[in-house]
Amino acid sequence: MKAYINGTASLSPQNSLDYNEFLKGIVEYEDDFLKSIKPNFKDYIKPIEARRMSKTVKNGIICSEIAMLEAEINMPDAIIVGTGLGILSDTEKFLEKMLNDNEQYLTPTSFIQSTHNTVAAQIALRIKCHNYNFTYVNRGFSFETALQDGMMHLNEGKKNVLIGGADEMSEHYFHIVRKNGRWKKIAIKNTELLNYKTEGAICGEGVNFFVLSSEKKKNTYAELKSLKTFYKPKNDKEINKKLLSFLENNNINITDIDLVITGQSGDKKGDAIYDNILNNNFIEKPVAYFKHLTGDYQTSSSFAFWLGANILKSQKVPDFIMQNNKKVKKVKNILIYNHYFNINNSFMLLSVI
């Protein structure tokens, strides 16, 4: 079974939606958390339809349509979305109104939109897709299980699967979670992310969609060779062991990896885990990172996946994503290693076609 990435689309805090040019430059921020750049919704969705849709539903619809356009399909065999938080804004809207008005004067709109599966459902509704429809909500595994499910569908004989990762951050939830030490206490410059070396990550959001297909097309970006998730590893030694068996299971050597993309997030403790794996295995290799572009969120690995696919297709590696100064030549194989606060770890292996 082969899994080709035939369409991609990304809405992020960067200019990633411009599919004519792959990441022209970095959008700089000095902020508490990074917010997705608002697209011109009217270009994609009629205002009357968009009226009741929250930001992430609209972003999901836009990205899914672009990804399908690129893959030259209009009806996927499955729609699978990963989201850590679902539609947070509508959840908060209903919750706050309920608490503030003592369960009175409530209307259903924000409750309906708050359901975790709204993005996948609204895409199906829009294109009248009666096929398999699934939503994963497992923190930093949400996007990975969506991909894994997609690969199983191709293995079972399906041709085209639409897969997305979608998360939004709200002011309230950001401040609540910051109390837990998860996010940095001060506004940060995203271009300086790795220089802080303090507790807490940079927070962000984004929506990324892909079409995974069993057949290659002229627009194909890359091949997804394999992925592996693992939960709460005991120590770095265990991660190292998982990495080596992942590579071995895919008949690939460390020397074959041309670029490593890690989920360095600025969090001192979390980043030490990446450093350890890099120092042990990839000391001579070019290493890139991406959370200074997007911030960290449950499905941020979907942006790394977008980045990897676009690098393999364009053979361009933007200099502002490089973490070291090793020269990248031809990129054939990319390893993405991401973890979400060391709870959810994943490896993804992408190859040039």
Contact positions vs another protein (CB under 8 A)? 79, 84-86, 94-96, 98-99, 102-104, 106-108, 111-118, 120-122, 124-125, 127-139, 141-142, 145, 148-149, 152, 155-156, 172-173, 175-177, 179-181, 229-232, 298, 343
Q: In this complex, which beta carbon is closest to another protein, that of residue 55 or of residue 116?
A: 116
Backbone φ/ψ region at 232: left (φ over 0), alpha (ψ -120 to 50), beta: left
Angle, CA of 321, 322 and 326, to the nearest 5°: 160
Helices 236-249, 268-281: axis angle to 10 degrees equals 50
Beta carbon of residue 322, minimum distance to another protein (angstroms, whole number)? 32
Name the residue nearer to another protein (CB basis): 90 or 223.
Answer: 90
b/e map 7-16, b = 16+ CB within 10 Å: bbbbbbbbeb
Shortest Å, Cβ 1 to another protein: 10
C-alpha 114/C-alpha 92 separation (Å) is: 8
Q: Which is nearer to another protein, 62 or 147 (CB)?
A: 147
Which residue(s) pair with 79 in the sheet? 133, 162
* Helix and strand totals (H; E) in the chain: 11, 12
Q: Which is nearer to another protein, 98 or 254 (CB)?
A: 98
Reduced to 3 states (helix: H, G, I; strand: E, B; else coil), residue 4 is strand
Given the complex with another protein, which of 14 and 344 has the nearer CB atom? 344
Least separation in angstroms between CB 275 and another protein: 23
The minimum distance between CB 75 and another protein, in angstroms, equals: 11
Tell me the CA distances in angstroms from 34 to 116, 188, 291, one per residue in order. 22, 10, 10
User: Minimum distance from CB of 259 to another protein (Å)?
Assistant: 27
Residue 131 CB, nearest approach to another protein (Å): 7
Residue closer to another protein, measured from CB, 117 or 280: 117
